[in-house]
Amino acid sequence: TIEDSEVGLCKASMELGTRSRRRSPEPGPGRGADYLSALPDDLLLLVLARLGCAAAAARTGLLARRWRGLWARLRDLAFRDVAFPSLQVALGRVAVPPPAVSLLEIRVPGKIRPAADAVTSLLRAAARLAPEKLVFGLTGHLPLQDPNPAGVDLPCFHRATSIVLEWIPFVLRAPAAGGEFPALLKLSLTGCKVDDLGTLLSLCPRLRVLRLKSLIWLGGDDLTTVHSASLQELVMESIWTHRVDIVAPILKQLTLSSWAEAQVSISILAPMIQNVSWQWLYDNGTIGFGLWTLEKLRLQTAQRQGQLPSLLIHASKLV
C-alpha cells in the first residue's frame, strides 16, 4: 500500500543512520490540540521544505496521519543516503507534474554498488518528474577501469535547465535518435565515463555552461570533442585524453587544467573568447628541449582592466 511504501522509505533512511523518534499517538483527550497539524497544506509544505531532505520530511508521517504524503508535493526533493530500493518507491510516490518539481537531488550511498540497469531505471524515474534542476550522484563509487564497462542510458529531461552527474561508475550513453535536452543551459559531469560527448552536446541546443572534471572518454582515437554553437563557458579539469577539439563560435570563458602522460594535441576555434585560464602539467620527459624538460605550462588572461596576460613556463634540467 501507499502507506506501507512511505513507512518503508522512513525505515530505510533510519537504517542508514538517521534514526527517528518513536511514533507518537494521535492527539487525544488530555494531550491538547494539535495546532500544527491543523495548519493549511501550503503552510505545512513550507515547514517540510525547511527540513531540506525528502526522507526527513517523509518521517513526519510517522508522527501524525495529517502529515502523511505531504512530502511528495514538495517542489524541492533531496534524497541523500537513501538505498536504491527505497528510492524507486519514493520517486513513484511523487505525482507527475503539475505541480512542477524545481529541484531533484539524488545522492546514493556507496556501501553497495548498484547494477547499471538499476541506475538506468532510477534515471528514468527521475525524468518522469521533469525537474528543472537535477543532481544525481553515486557517492563513493569511483569509475572502474573495466575494459568493457556496462552502460547507462541517459533519458531526456525536457524541462531541465541544469543537470549535474557525479561519480557514475558506468558508461554514460546519450539518448537515442530523436531525444533532446531543449531547455538545458548548464551541464556538469564529474568522475564519469562518457561514450560520445559530441553526440550528447548535439542534443543540447541551448547549452551555455559546460563543466567537465575527472572524465574518461572511450574509443581508440582518445578524442575529446566539444562542438557547440551556443556554449559561452567551458571548464575542463583533470581529464584523461590525448586530443582535444573545441569549436565554440561564441565561447567567452575557457578554463583548462589537466596533466599529460604523452604529447597532447589541442585545437581550439573560439573567435569571441575573452578570458582564458590554462594550466597543463607534464610528466617528466614528456616534452623536452635539449637538456630541459617541460613540467608546467600556465596561461592566464588579464583579470582586471589594465592588467597584462601572463605566460608561465616551468622546466627542469636533466642531470
Q: Give buried/exposed letters for 306-316 (b at 16+ CB in 10 A, else e).
A: eeeeeeeeeee
pLDDT at residue number 145: 57
Of 115, 14, 116, the residue nearest 56 (C-alpha): 14
Cβ contact 30:97 at 8 Å:
no
- Whether 230 shows a pLDDT value over 90: the answer reads yes
Domain limits, the chain: 38-281
Give 256-309 pLDDT, tens digit per residue: 988 776 677 889 999 999 999 988 887 766 677 777 888 888 888 877 777 778
Distance CA 201, CA 156 (A): 13
Give 53-107 pLDDT, tens digit per residue: 888 888 887 777 778 888 888 899 999 888 888 888 889 888 887 678 999 999 9
Most confident of 1-5, 41-45, 244-248, 300-304: 244-248
Q: Is the pTM of this model over 0.85?
A: no
